[in-house]
Structures are given as C-alpha cells and as structure tokens.
Amino acid sequence: MILIILLILSEKTIIMKPKALILRAPGTNCDQETAWAFQVAGAETEFLHINQLMENPASTGGFQILCVPGGFSYGDDVGAGRILASQFTSRLRDCIDQFRSAGNLVLGICNGFQVLIKTGFLVPPDGQGLPVTLTWNDTGRYDCRWVTLRTGQSDCVFLRDTELLYLPIAHAEGRFVVRDQATLGQLDRDRQLALRYVKPDGSNGQVPWPFNPNGSDDNIAGLCDASGRVFGLMPHPERFIDPTHHPRWTRCSLADIKIDGLKIFQNAVSYFS
C-alpha cells in the first residue's frame, strides 16, 4: 500500500513539473544556457525552432513557460530582434495571445526583450506606433559587464522576493527609450517598470555609465506587462545560476554568494507549484 501511494505521489509530481519552451531562431546563442537554468530551477525544457512553431502554432500546447532567449536572431541584420518580431506579429500573434490568456508565463532575455518590445507584447502600439523601443547604447558600441539592479513597484512574477540583483549584460542595442514623459508616467502607474540599473551601493537617481551601461531612460533594465506574467530584461540571468559564475567567486566565500540569476527562473517554476 505504501509503495502504491509513493508511486501515485511520484506521478503527480512529474505531472505538476512545469514545462518551458525555449524558442530558437537563426543566430540565437544563449538557448542552451537558458534551458539549463530552467532545469536547475526545476522545470522540464524543450527546444523549438521558430520555423517549426510557424508551421505548427499549436506546438505551444502543454507548455507553461515560453522563453525567447538571448543572442543575435537573424544576425540583427536590420536591427536587433526586428525580423523575429516581424514573424511573431505576422504569423504567431494569435498563438502567443492564446498562450498568454491561458495564464502562462513569457520571458524575453536580451534579444528576447528586444523581440517582446518590437512585437508590442509588453507595451502595445497606439495611433502613433510603439511608444517605447530599445535602440543603440549611448556609447555606440557593444558593452559587456556586470551591473547592479533594483526591482521596481511591479507585479512581475519573475522578480518576486527580490530587491537588489547583480547580473551580467552583453548588448549593443539595449537603451530603453520612451516617447515622452507621459508614456513613462503611464508605465509607472501600470506597475510595468520592473527593473532599473542602480549604482553599486544600490542608490538610484542619476546613474551614469558604466552603472547604467546603455543610457536607458529612467535607468530601465526590464519591463513587464500589466499582468506581471510577461517579462523582458536586458541582463542575462542565465549566466549567473551558480556561485562560480560570479566574477569574484575566487575571492569570496561561495556560501556567501547570492545566486541572483537563478532566483528569476525559480520564481517562474514556483509560480506553477
């Protein structure tokens, strides 16, 4: 009898384990690391190429998390994330809308954030087009470094129980720009300003380069939709899921290192627990 009960509980655990779909496109290069991060956090993962998804949009069935990982989709040939975003809006909008409406989670990391912005999934367009965008860094060049971030007043599922984060960035087109102050104010009222660059001591205000590595308006590093279930960010949390990923791990006690990247994936998994 005990064995039967254990088997039933084991089967239930397997069924309840959330599944994350990692989307691939030509040029994507952070898919393996992102899948591993979800696995370490307790999710099952599968890869799917964008062409396969366009051929069969119903492929998202059975998944609870959709992730557009970092990389250079289509080589950023006409701008970061633009081609993949065009495929989303022209071929997959109904599919993604249904996925979101079912209460699932969507995560876009770096290039994935650029895609979510340019599709309007985070901030929908109005009569003048998209009120926000991601464009070239103020420096005009690719920047790769670690940054300190502070979570904002949002309902973002991925950032629950977090305040200060230390994560790496690696991008050339990560500067978040809003059309005007009215747009920024509306995003604030809608609790969408999820993540900001801050100084190493955690203070905000005027945050200069390199602490705000791209010159983003209001130091914005990540944005969620009004539901808090769709989240995009420029930093790479999948690159910090083990203490030895920390740039100073050899000079610190491993037990004292807070693994900030992993927490984002754990929050996604625990949302379905």
Query: What's the token pair of residue 241?
Result: 């899921």
Is residue 49 flagged as an active site residue? no
Q: What is the DSSP string of 80-138?
A: TTHHHHHHIIIIIHHHHHHHHHTT-EEEEETHHHHHHHHHTSSS--BTTB-SEEEE--T
Q: Which amino acid is at 42?
A: G
Burial pattern 166-177, b for ≥16 Cβ within 10 A else e, equals: bbbbbbbbbbbb
User: How would you label 69-85 residue by residue, b for 16+ Cβ within 10 Å and e otherwise?
Assistant: bbbbbbebeebbbebbb
Q: Please indicate whether residue 156 is annotated as part of the active site.
A: no
Q: Of residues 30, 67, 224, 238, which has the active-site annotation?
A: 238
Select which of 33, 67, 236, 246 is catalytic: 236
Tokens of 78: 């006409």
Residue pair 21/67 in contact (Cβ under 8 Å)? The answer is: yes
- Please give the structure tokens belonging to residue 205: 């205000």
Q: Where are the beta strands (DSSP E) in 182-271?
A: 193-198, 220-224, 230-233
Q: Catalytic pick from 67, 110, 156, 224?
A: 110
Indicate the length of the chain as a whole number: 273
Rounded CA gap, 11 and 3, in Å?
A: 12
Mark whether 110 is an active-site residue.
yes
Q: What residues are annotated to the active site?
A: 110, 236, 238
